[in-house]
Chain A
Amino acid sequence: MNNSYIKIDTLSKSFGFKKVLDGINLQFEKGDFVTLFGPNGAGKTTLIRILSTILKSDEGNITISDYDIKKNVSDIRKIIGLLSHENFLYQNLTVTENLIFFAKLYNVKNSEESISYKLNKIGIYSKRNELIRNLSSGMKQRVSIVRSLVHDPEIIFLDEPFVGLDIEGSEYLLELFSEFKKENKTALVTTHDLRLGLHECTKVVVINKGQIRFNEIIENVDVNSFESTYKSLIA
Protein backbone atom coordinates (compact mmCIF):
# COMPACT_ATOMS: atom_id res chain seq x y z
CA MET A 1 0.00 0.00 0.00
CA ASN A 2 1.16 3.54 -0.69
CA ASN A 3 -0.51 6.89 -0.18
CA SER A 4 -0.31 8.12 -3.78
CA TYR A 5 -3.21 7.37 -6.09
CA ILE A 6 -0.88 7.11 -9.08
CA LYS A 7 2.76 6.31 -8.36
CA ILE A 8 5.35 6.15 -11.11
CA ASP A 9 8.70 4.87 -9.91
CA THR A 10 11.93 5.07 -12.01
CA LEU A 11 10.04 4.42 -15.24
CA SER A 12 12.12 3.96 -18.38
CA LYS A 13 11.22 3.11 -21.94
CA SER A 14 13.33 2.85 -25.09
CA PHE A 15 12.43 2.35 -28.73
CA GLY A 16 15.47 0.66 -30.23
CA PHE A 17 18.49 2.67 -29.06
CA LYS A 18 16.45 5.78 -28.36
CA LYS A 19 15.58 6.26 -24.70
CA VAL A 20 12.19 7.97 -24.65
CA LEU A 21 11.56 7.91 -20.90
CA ASP A 22 14.51 7.99 -18.55
CA GLY A 23 13.87 7.26 -14.88
CA ILE A 24 10.55 9.05 -14.46
CA ASN A 25 9.34 9.49 -10.86
CA LEU A 26 5.90 11.03 -10.32
CA GLN A 27 3.18 10.80 -7.70
CA PHE A 28 -0.38 12.04 -7.99
CA GLU A 29 -3.13 12.13 -5.41
CA LYS A 30 -6.80 11.31 -6.00
CA GLY A 31 -8.50 14.37 -7.46
CA ASP A 32 -5.27 15.79 -8.91
CA PHE A 33 -5.72 17.48 -12.25
CA VAL A 34 -2.28 17.33 -13.79
CA THR A 35 -1.16 19.09 -16.94
CA LEU A 36 1.89 17.62 -18.61
CA PHE A 37 3.75 20.04 -20.85
CA GLY A 38 6.65 19.24 -23.11
CA PRO A 39 7.93 19.76 -26.65
CA ASN A 40 7.35 17.25 -29.45
CA GLY A 41 9.23 14.02 -28.76
CA ALA A 42 9.58 14.76 -25.04
CA GLY A 43 7.91 11.47 -24.04
CA LYS A 44 4.41 12.72 -23.10
CA THR A 45 2.50 10.32 -25.34
CA THR A 46 4.73 7.37 -24.41
CA LEU A 47 4.09 8.07 -20.73
CA ILE A 48 0.31 8.24 -21.33
CA ARG A 49 0.40 5.04 -23.40
CA ILE A 50 2.25 3.19 -20.65
CA LEU A 51 -0.14 4.48 -17.97
CA SER A 52 -3.14 3.46 -20.05
CA THR A 53 -1.72 -0.10 -20.48
CA ILE A 54 -1.19 0.12 -24.24
CA LEU A 55 2.60 -0.02 -23.93
CA LYS A 56 4.79 -1.89 -21.48
CA SER A 57 7.67 -0.16 -19.76
CA ASP A 58 11.22 -1.49 -19.89
CA GLU A 59 12.02 -0.65 -16.27
CA GLY A 60 10.25 0.81 -13.27
CA ASN A 61 7.01 0.30 -11.41
CA ILE A 62 3.60 1.90 -11.67
CA THR A 63 0.74 1.58 -9.23
CA ILE A 64 -2.66 3.06 -9.94
CA SER A 65 -5.23 3.03 -7.12
CA ASP A 66 -3.02 0.46 -5.37
CA TYR A 67 -3.09 -1.83 -8.40
CA ASP A 68 0.28 -2.85 -9.84
CA ILE A 69 0.18 -2.21 -13.60
CA LYS A 70 2.05 -5.44 -14.31
CA LYS A 71 -0.10 -7.69 -12.11
CA ASN A 72 -3.56 -6.08 -12.09
CA VAL A 73 -3.87 -4.73 -15.61
CA SER A 74 -7.55 -5.68 -15.94
CA ASP A 75 -8.47 -3.85 -12.69
CA ILE A 76 -6.65 -0.75 -13.91
CA ARG A 77 -8.42 -0.87 -17.29
CA LYS A 78 -11.78 -0.72 -15.51
CA ILE A 79 -11.01 2.61 -13.85
CA ILE A 80 -9.15 4.50 -16.57
CA GLY A 81 -10.30 6.33 -19.67
CA LEU A 82 -8.04 7.36 -22.53
CA LEU A 83 -8.29 10.05 -25.16
CA SER A 84 -5.49 9.46 -27.62
CA HIS A 85 -4.25 11.01 -30.88
CA GLU A 86 -6.20 8.31 -32.70
CA ASN A 87 -9.94 8.42 -32.04
CA PHE A 88 -10.46 4.61 -31.83
CA LEU A 89 -13.83 5.00 -33.60
CA TYR A 90 -15.35 2.79 -36.29
CA GLN A 91 -15.88 4.80 -39.49
CA ASN A 92 -19.04 3.03 -40.61
CA LEU A 93 -20.89 3.12 -37.32
CA THR A 94 -22.88 6.10 -36.16
CA VAL A 95 -21.82 8.23 -33.20
CA THR A 96 -24.34 6.51 -30.90
CA GLU A 97 -23.55 3.01 -32.20
CA ASN A 98 -19.83 3.57 -31.54
CA LEU A 99 -20.47 4.83 -28.02
CA ILE A 100 -22.93 2.04 -27.17
CA PHE A 101 -20.40 -0.49 -28.46
CA PHE A 102 -17.63 0.86 -26.22
CA ALA A 103 -20.04 1.12 -23.27
CA LYS A 104 -20.85 -2.60 -23.69
CA LEU A 105 -17.14 -3.44 -23.47
CA TYR A 106 -17.17 -1.86 -20.00
CA ASN A 107 -20.45 -3.59 -19.07
CA VAL A 108 -22.23 -0.23 -18.68
CA LYS A 109 -25.96 -0.89 -18.25
CA ASN A 110 -28.54 1.38 -19.91
CA SER A 111 -25.80 3.51 -21.41
CA GLU A 112 -28.08 5.40 -23.83
CA GLU A 113 -29.16 8.01 -21.30
CA SER A 114 -25.66 8.79 -20.06
CA ILE A 115 -24.35 8.87 -23.64
CA SER A 116 -27.04 11.38 -24.64
CA TYR A 117 -26.15 13.52 -21.61
CA LYS A 118 -22.45 13.50 -22.50
CA LEU A 119 -23.08 14.20 -26.18
CA ASN A 120 -25.18 17.15 -25.12
CA LYS A 121 -22.43 18.35 -22.76
CA ILE A 122 -19.85 18.36 -25.55
CA GLY A 123 -22.26 19.95 -28.05
CA ILE A 124 -22.76 17.15 -30.56
CA TYR A 125 -26.10 15.64 -29.58
CA SER A 126 -27.51 16.65 -32.98
CA LYS A 127 -24.84 14.51 -34.67
CA ARG A 128 -25.71 11.35 -32.73
CA ASN A 129 -27.08 9.47 -35.75
CA GLU A 130 -24.35 10.44 -38.20
CA LEU A 131 -21.71 8.02 -39.39
CA ILE A 132 -18.23 8.76 -38.04
CA ARG A 133 -16.80 8.89 -41.59
CA ASN A 134 -19.07 11.86 -42.36
CA LEU A 135 -17.86 13.97 -39.42
CA SER A 136 -15.11 16.59 -39.43
CA SER A 137 -11.94 15.85 -37.45
CA GLY A 138 -13.02 18.27 -34.70
CA MET A 139 -16.37 16.49 -34.37
CA LYS A 140 -14.61 13.12 -34.29
CA GLN A 141 -12.41 14.46 -31.50
CA ARG A 142 -15.53 15.42 -29.53
CA VAL A 143 -17.02 11.95 -30.05
CA SER A 144 -13.72 10.46 -28.95
CA ILE A 145 -13.84 12.54 -25.76
CA VAL A 146 -17.26 11.03 -24.99
CA ARG A 147 -15.92 7.56 -25.86
CA SER A 148 -13.14 7.96 -23.30
CA LEU A 149 -15.73 8.90 -20.65
CA VAL A 150 -18.41 6.39 -21.60
CA HIS A 151 -17.79 4.23 -18.49
CA ASP A 152 -17.34 7.17 -16.07
CA PRO A 153 -13.69 6.38 -15.32
CA GLU A 154 -12.11 7.48 -12.04
CA ILE A 155 -8.92 8.40 -13.89
CA ILE A 156 -8.76 10.01 -17.29
CA PHE A 157 -5.71 10.35 -19.52
CA LEU A 158 -6.12 12.97 -22.23
CA ASP A 159 -3.36 13.19 -24.80
CA GLU A 160 -3.57 16.59 -26.49
CA PRO A 161 -7.36 16.84 -26.17
CA PHE A 162 -7.57 20.34 -27.66
CA VAL A 163 -6.10 19.31 -31.04
CA GLY A 164 -8.69 19.81 -33.78
CA LEU A 165 -11.22 21.47 -31.47
CA ASP A 166 -12.66 24.87 -32.32
CA ILE A 167 -13.18 27.58 -29.68
CA GLU A 168 -16.63 26.21 -28.80
CA GLY A 169 -15.28 22.65 -28.50
CA SER A 170 -12.40 23.81 -26.28
CA GLU A 171 -14.87 25.64 -24.02
CA TYR A 172 -17.04 22.53 -23.72
CA LEU A 173 -13.94 20.56 -22.81
CA LEU A 174 -12.89 23.07 -20.16
CA GLU A 175 -16.40 22.77 -18.67
CA LEU A 176 -15.94 19.00 -18.57
CA PHE A 177 -12.59 19.51 -16.82
CA SER A 178 -14.24 21.57 -14.10
CA GLU A 179 -16.84 18.80 -13.74
CA PHE A 180 -14.06 16.23 -13.30
CA LYS A 181 -12.66 18.35 -10.49
CA LYS A 182 -16.04 18.62 -8.79
CA GLU A 183 -16.41 14.82 -9.02
CA ASN A 184 -12.88 14.39 -7.57
CA LYS A 185 -11.72 12.50 -10.66
CA THR A 186 -8.01 12.31 -11.37
CA ALA A 187 -6.83 13.56 -14.75
CA LEU A 188 -3.55 13.72 -16.63
CA VAL A 189 -3.68 16.03 -19.64
CA THR A 190 -0.93 16.68 -22.16
CA THR A 191 -1.03 19.83 -24.24
CA HIS A 192 1.16 22.40 -25.97
CA ASP A 193 -1.33 25.17 -25.19
CA LEU A 194 -0.08 26.83 -21.98
CA ARG A 195 -3.22 28.94 -21.47
CA LEU A 196 -5.69 26.05 -21.81
CA GLY A 197 -3.38 23.67 -19.97
CA LEU A 198 -3.11 25.91 -16.91
CA HIS A 199 -6.84 26.67 -16.87
CA GLU A 200 -8.09 23.95 -14.51
CA CYS A 201 -4.95 22.12 -13.41
CA THR A 202 -3.91 21.54 -9.83
CA LYS A 203 -0.43 20.36 -10.72
CA VAL A 204 2.02 21.24 -13.50
CA VAL A 205 4.63 18.85 -14.84
CA VAL A 206 7.15 19.59 -17.59
CA ILE A 207 8.91 16.74 -19.36
CA ASN A 208 11.77 17.08 -21.82
CA LYS A 209 14.03 14.47 -23.39
CA GLY A 210 12.37 11.76 -21.31
CA GLN A 211 13.07 13.40 -17.96
CA ILE A 212 10.90 15.40 -15.55
CA ARG A 213 12.15 19.00 -15.50
CA PHE A 214 9.40 20.61 -13.44
CA ASN A 215 6.81 19.22 -11.03
CA GLU A 216 4.89 21.69 -8.88
CA ILE A 217 1.39 22.24 -7.52
CA ILE A 218 -0.35 25.15 -9.25
CA GLU A 219 -0.12 27.32 -6.10
CA ASN A 220 3.68 27.31 -6.51
CA VAL A 221 3.51 28.27 -10.19
CA ASP A 222 3.58 31.88 -11.32
CA VAL A 223 1.01 31.52 -14.10
CA ASN A 224 1.84 34.92 -15.60
CA SER A 225 5.54 34.15 -16.08
CA PHE A 226 5.15 30.44 -16.76
CA GLU A 227 5.73 30.83 -20.49
CA SER A 228 9.28 32.08 -19.97
CA THR A 229 9.88 29.45 -17.27
CA TYR A 230 8.64 26.77 -19.67
CA LYS A 231 10.86 28.02 -22.50
CA SER A 232 13.92 27.88 -20.27
CA LEU A 233 12.98 24.34 -19.13
CA ILE A 234 12.76 22.97 -22.67
CA ALA A 235 15.68 24.93 -24.08
Chain B
Amino acid sequence: MNTLAAVLWKDIINELRTKEIVLSMAAFSVVLVVIFNFSLVINRDNIGHLVPSFLWISIIFVGTLGLSRTFAIEKENSAITGILISPIDRSMLYFAKVLSNLLYVLIVQFLLLFLFLFMFNINLTGNILMLIIVMVLGAVGFSTLGTLFSTMAINTKLRELLLPVILFPVIIPVIINAVKATSLIFSGGGYTEIKPFLNILIAFDIIFLVTSALVYEFVVEES
Protein backbone atom coordinates (compact mmCIF):
# COMPACT_ATOMS: atom_id res chain seq x y z
CA MET B 1 0.00 0.00 0.00
CA ASN B 2 2.98 2.26 0.65
CA THR B 3 3.98 1.97 -2.98
CA LEU B 4 0.47 2.68 -4.19
CA ALA B 5 0.21 5.79 -2.01
CA ALA B 6 3.71 6.98 -2.97
CA VAL B 7 3.16 6.68 -6.74
CA LEU B 8 -0.30 8.24 -6.51
CA TRP B 9 1.04 11.10 -4.36
CA LYS B 10 3.88 11.69 -6.85
CA ASP B 11 1.47 11.77 -9.83
CA ILE B 12 -0.95 14.15 -8.11
CA ILE B 13 1.79 16.54 -6.95
CA ASN B 14 3.26 16.54 -10.45
CA GLU B 15 -0.12 17.29 -12.02
CA LEU B 16 -1.04 19.98 -9.48
CA ARG B 17 2.23 21.74 -10.35
CA THR B 18 2.08 21.46 -14.12
CA LYS B 19 -1.64 20.94 -14.80
CA GLU B 20 -0.49 19.74 -18.21
CA ILE B 21 -2.51 16.50 -18.37
CA VAL B 22 -5.90 17.80 -17.21
CA LEU B 23 -5.53 21.14 -19.03
CA SER B 24 -4.61 19.52 -22.34
CA MET B 25 -7.46 17.04 -21.95
CA ALA B 26 -9.88 19.86 -21.05
CA ALA B 27 -8.78 21.99 -24.02
CA PHE B 28 -9.24 19.02 -26.39
CA SER B 29 -12.67 18.37 -24.85
CA VAL B 30 -13.82 21.92 -25.55
CA VAL B 31 -12.58 21.73 -29.15
CA LEU B 32 -14.39 18.43 -29.74
CA VAL B 33 -17.69 19.60 -28.28
CA VAL B 34 -17.57 22.85 -30.26
CA ILE B 35 -16.98 20.87 -33.49
CA PHE B 36 -19.83 18.49 -32.65
CA ASN B 37 -22.05 21.45 -31.79
CA PHE B 38 -21.57 22.86 -35.28
CA SER B 39 -21.87 19.54 -37.10
CA LEU B 40 -24.75 17.82 -35.27
CA VAL B 41 -28.39 18.73 -35.28
CA ILE B 42 -29.87 17.53 -32.00
CA ASN B 43 -33.60 17.30 -31.46
CA ARG B 44 -35.96 15.50 -29.11
CA ASP B 45 -35.99 12.40 -31.38
CA ASN B 46 -32.28 11.78 -31.75
CA ILE B 47 -30.90 13.12 -28.44
CA GLY B 48 -30.96 9.68 -26.82
CA HIS B 49 -28.81 8.18 -29.60
CA LEU B 50 -26.49 10.95 -30.74
CA VAL B 51 -25.38 12.63 -27.53
CA PRO B 52 -24.35 9.44 -25.64
CA SER B 53 -22.45 8.16 -28.71
CA PHE B 54 -20.53 11.39 -29.22
CA LEU B 55 -20.02 11.80 -25.48
CA TRP B 56 -18.29 8.42 -25.21
CA ILE B 57 -16.33 8.93 -28.46
CA SER B 58 -15.05 12.16 -26.91
CA ILE B 59 -14.22 10.42 -23.62
CA ILE B 60 -12.04 7.76 -25.28
CA PHE B 61 -10.29 10.31 -27.56
CA VAL B 62 -9.59 12.71 -24.70
CA GLY B 63 -8.73 9.87 -22.31
CA THR B 64 -6.20 8.43 -24.76
CA LEU B 65 -4.51 11.83 -24.97
CA GLY B 66 -4.20 11.83 -21.16
CA LEU B 67 -2.84 8.26 -21.05
CA SER B 68 -0.08 9.14 -23.53
CA ARG B 69 0.91 12.14 -21.42
CA THR B 70 1.00 10.31 -18.07
CA PHE B 71 3.50 7.82 -19.43
CA ALA B 72 5.50 10.49 -21.26
CA ILE B 73 6.21 11.96 -17.80
CA GLU B 74 7.54 8.57 -16.67
CA LYS B 75 9.84 8.46 -19.70
CA GLU B 76 11.45 11.85 -18.95
CA ASN B 77 14.87 11.16 -17.39
CA SER B 78 13.89 7.45 -17.52
CA ALA B 79 12.14 7.98 -14.18
CA ILE B 80 10.17 4.75 -14.68
CA THR B 81 13.49 2.84 -14.62
CA GLY B 82 14.18 4.34 -11.20
CA ILE B 83 10.90 2.82 -10.03
CA LEU B 84 11.52 -0.51 -11.74
CA ILE B 85 14.93 -1.11 -10.16
CA SER B 86 13.27 -0.90 -6.75
CA PRO B 87 11.81 -4.08 -5.21
CA ILE B 88 8.19 -2.89 -5.38
CA ASP B 89 5.29 -5.16 -6.20
CA ARG B 90 4.53 -4.44 -9.87
CA SER B 91 0.80 -4.89 -9.33
CA MET B 92 0.85 -2.05 -6.76
CA LEU B 93 2.52 0.15 -9.38
CA TYR B 94 -0.25 -0.85 -11.79
CA PHE B 95 -3.05 -0.02 -9.33
CA ALA B 96 -1.43 3.34 -8.55
CA LYS B 97 -1.19 4.25 -12.24
CA VAL B 98 -4.80 3.10 -12.79
CA LEU B 99 -5.96 5.33 -9.93
CA SER B 100 -4.13 8.40 -11.20
CA ASN B 101 -5.36 7.83 -14.77
CA LEU B 102 -8.89 7.23 -13.43
CA LEU B 103 -8.76 10.52 -11.57
CA TYR B 104 -7.80 12.46 -14.74
CA VAL B 105 -10.41 10.64 -16.85
CA LEU B 106 -13.18 11.28 -14.28
CA ILE B 107 -12.40 14.99 -14.08
CA VAL B 108 -12.50 15.38 -17.85
CA GLN B 109 -15.44 13.02 -18.25
CA PHE B 110 -17.66 15.20 -16.09
CA LEU B 111 -16.37 18.31 -17.83
CA LEU B 112 -17.35 16.72 -21.15
CA LEU B 113 -20.80 15.83 -19.79
CA PHE B 114 -21.30 19.40 -18.63
CA LEU B 115 -20.10 20.76 -22.01
CA PHE B 116 -22.47 18.48 -23.94
CA LEU B 117 -25.43 19.43 -21.74
CA PHE B 118 -24.57 23.13 -22.00
CA MET B 119 -23.66 23.35 -25.70
CA PHE B 120 -26.62 21.26 -26.88
CA ASN B 121 -28.97 22.92 -24.42
CA ILE B 122 -30.05 19.57 -22.96
CA ASN B 123 -32.23 19.49 -19.88
CA LEU B 124 -31.29 16.15 -18.36
CA THR B 125 -34.39 14.59 -16.85
CA GLY B 126 -33.13 11.01 -16.50
CA ASN B 127 -31.63 9.35 -13.43
CA ILE B 128 -28.53 11.44 -12.67
CA LEU B 129 -27.19 9.01 -10.06
CA MET B 130 -27.42 6.18 -12.58
CA LEU B 131 -25.60 8.33 -15.14
CA ILE B 132 -22.79 8.99 -12.66
CA ILE B 133 -22.50 5.23 -11.97
CA VAL B 134 -22.33 4.43 -15.70
CA MET B 135 -19.69 7.09 -16.28
CA VAL B 136 -17.55 5.88 -13.37
CA LEU B 137 -17.83 2.24 -14.53
CA GLY B 138 -16.87 3.27 -18.07
CA ALA B 139 -13.94 5.30 -16.77
CA VAL B 140 -12.73 2.35 -14.65
CA GLY B 141 -12.78 0.03 -17.69
CA PHE B 142 -10.98 2.61 -19.81
CA SER B 143 -8.32 3.33 -17.17
CA THR B 144 -7.60 -0.33 -16.35
CA LEU B 145 -6.99 -1.29 -19.97
CA GLY B 146 -5.51 2.08 -20.92
CA THR B 147 -2.86 1.83 -18.21
CA LEU B 148 -1.83 -1.64 -19.37
CA PHE B 149 -1.65 -0.71 -23.05
CA SER B 150 0.09 2.61 -22.51
CA THR B 151 2.76 0.73 -20.54
CA MET B 152 3.13 -1.65 -23.51
CA ALA B 153 3.52 1.31 -25.86
CA ILE B 154 5.86 3.32 -23.62
CA ASN B 155 9.11 2.29 -25.33
CA THR B 156 7.88 2.21 -28.89
CA LYS B 157 8.75 5.06 -31.23
CA LEU B 158 5.14 5.42 -32.35
CA ARG B 159 3.58 5.20 -28.89
CA GLU B 160 1.04 8.03 -29.40
CA LEU B 161 -0.12 6.34 -32.62
CA LEU B 162 0.14 2.79 -31.36
CA LEU B 163 -1.88 3.32 -28.18
CA PRO B 164 -5.29 3.97 -29.81
CA VAL B 165 -4.65 1.24 -32.39
CA ILE B 166 -4.19 -1.43 -29.72
CA LEU B 167 -6.54 0.04 -27.09
CA PHE B 168 -9.70 0.90 -29.03
CA PRO B 169 -10.53 -2.60 -30.35
CA VAL B 170 -10.25 -4.11 -26.87
CA ILE B 171 -12.18 -1.35 -25.08
CA ILE B 172 -15.18 -1.75 -27.45
CA PRO B 173 -17.30 -3.91 -25.04
CA VAL B 174 -17.05 -1.25 -22.33
CA ILE B 175 -17.85 1.60 -24.70
CA ILE B 176 -20.82 -0.16 -26.36
CA ASN B 177 -22.43 -0.92 -23.01
CA ALA B 178 -21.67 2.52 -21.61
CA VAL B 179 -23.25 4.14 -24.70
CA LYS B 180 -26.34 1.92 -24.46
CA ALA B 181 -26.78 2.59 -20.73
CA THR B 182 -26.26 6.34 -21.24
CA SER B 183 -28.78 6.33 -24.12
CA LEU B 184 -31.38 4.73 -21.90
CA ILE B 185 -30.74 7.30 -19.16
CA PHE B 186 -31.03 10.19 -21.66
CA SER B 187 -34.30 8.67 -22.92
CA GLY B 188 -35.67 8.42 -19.40
CA GLY B 189 -35.17 4.63 -19.02
CA GLY B 190 -35.59 3.05 -15.58
CA TYR B 191 -33.20 0.98 -13.46
CA THR B 192 -34.55 -2.38 -14.66
CA GLU B 193 -33.81 -1.43 -18.28
CA ILE B 194 -30.33 -0.14 -17.47
CA LYS B 195 -29.35 -2.94 -15.07
CA PRO B 196 -28.21 -5.51 -17.70
CA PHE B 197 -25.76 -2.98 -19.17
CA LEU B 198 -24.52 -2.05 -15.71
CA ASN B 199 -23.88 -5.72 -14.94
CA ILE B 200 -21.91 -6.17 -18.16
CA LEU B 201 -19.88 -3.03 -17.39
CA ILE B 202 -19.09 -4.29 -13.88
CA ALA B 203 -18.11 -7.71 -15.28
CA PHE B 204 -15.77 -6.20 -17.88
CA ASP B 205 -14.24 -3.84 -15.31
CA ILE B 206 -13.43 -6.78 -13.01
CA ILE B 207 -12.08 -8.93 -15.87
CA PHE B 208 -9.90 -6.11 -17.21
CA LEU B 209 -8.65 -5.11 -13.76
CA VAL B 210 -7.73 -8.63 -12.62
CA THR B 211 -6.14 -9.79 -15.89
CA SER B 212 -4.24 -6.53 -16.35
CA ALA B 213 -2.89 -6.66 -12.78
CA LEU B 214 -1.76 -10.26 -13.36
CA VAL B 215 0.08 -9.57 -16.62
CA TYR B 216 1.39 -6.11 -15.69
CA GLU B 217 4.62 -7.44 -14.19
CA PHE B 218 5.58 -9.10 -17.48
CA VAL B 219 4.50 -6.09 -19.53
CA VAL B 220 6.36 -3.50 -17.46
CA GLU B 221 9.54 -5.63 -17.14
CA GLU B 222 9.72 -6.09 -20.90
CA SER B 223 8.86 -2.46 -21.73
Decide if A88 touches B6 in the complex (CB within 8 Å).
no
B123 at the interface (CB under 8 A from A): no
A52 at the interface (CB under 8 A from B): yes
Decide if B85 touches A93 in the complex (CB within 8 Å).
no
Q: Which 8 A-B pairs have the closest CB atoms?
A: A88-B82, A86-B78, A104-B6, A105-B86, A77-B87, A78-B87, A92-B17, A74-B87
Decide if B82 touches A147 in the complex (CB within 8 Å).
yes
Decide if A105 touches B76 in the complex (CB within 8 Å).
no
Among A75, A97, A101, A105, max chain B CB count under 10 A is at: A105
- Which of chain B's residues 1-41 have a Cβ closer than 8 Å to chain A? 2-3, 5-6, 9-10, 13-14, 17-18
Q: Which range contains the number of B residues in contact with the other chain?
A: 20 to 34
Instruction: Determine the distance from Cα of A101 to Cα of B84 in the docked complex, in whole angstroms.
Output: 13
Query: How many pairs, one residue from A and one from B, have CB atoms within 8 Å of each other in the complex?
Result: 65
A173 at the interface (CB under 8 A from B): no
Closest chain A residue, CB of each to CB of B87: A77
- Which of chain A's residues 60-85 have a Cβ closer than 8 Å to chain B? 74-75, 77-78, 80, 82, 84
What residues on B are CB-neighbors of A107 within 8 Å?
2
What residues on A are CB-neighbors of B10 within 8 Å?
90, 93, 97, 101
Q: Interface size of A by Cβ–Cβ distance < 8 Å?
A: 27
Decide if B14 touches A89 in the complex (CB within 8 Å).
no
Instruction: Determine the distance from Cα of A115 to Cα of B160 in the docked complex, in whole angstroms.
Output: 37
B206 at the interface (CB under 8 A from A): no
Chain A to chain B contacts (Cβ below 8 Å), 15 pairs: A52-B85, A53-B85, A54-B85, A74-B87, A82-B85, A86-B81, A87-B77, A89-B79, A90-B73, A92-B14, A97-B10, A102-B82, A104-B3, A104-B5, A104-B6
Contact of B81 among A80, A84, A97, A104 (CB under 8 A): A84
A106 at the interface (CB under 8 A from B): yes
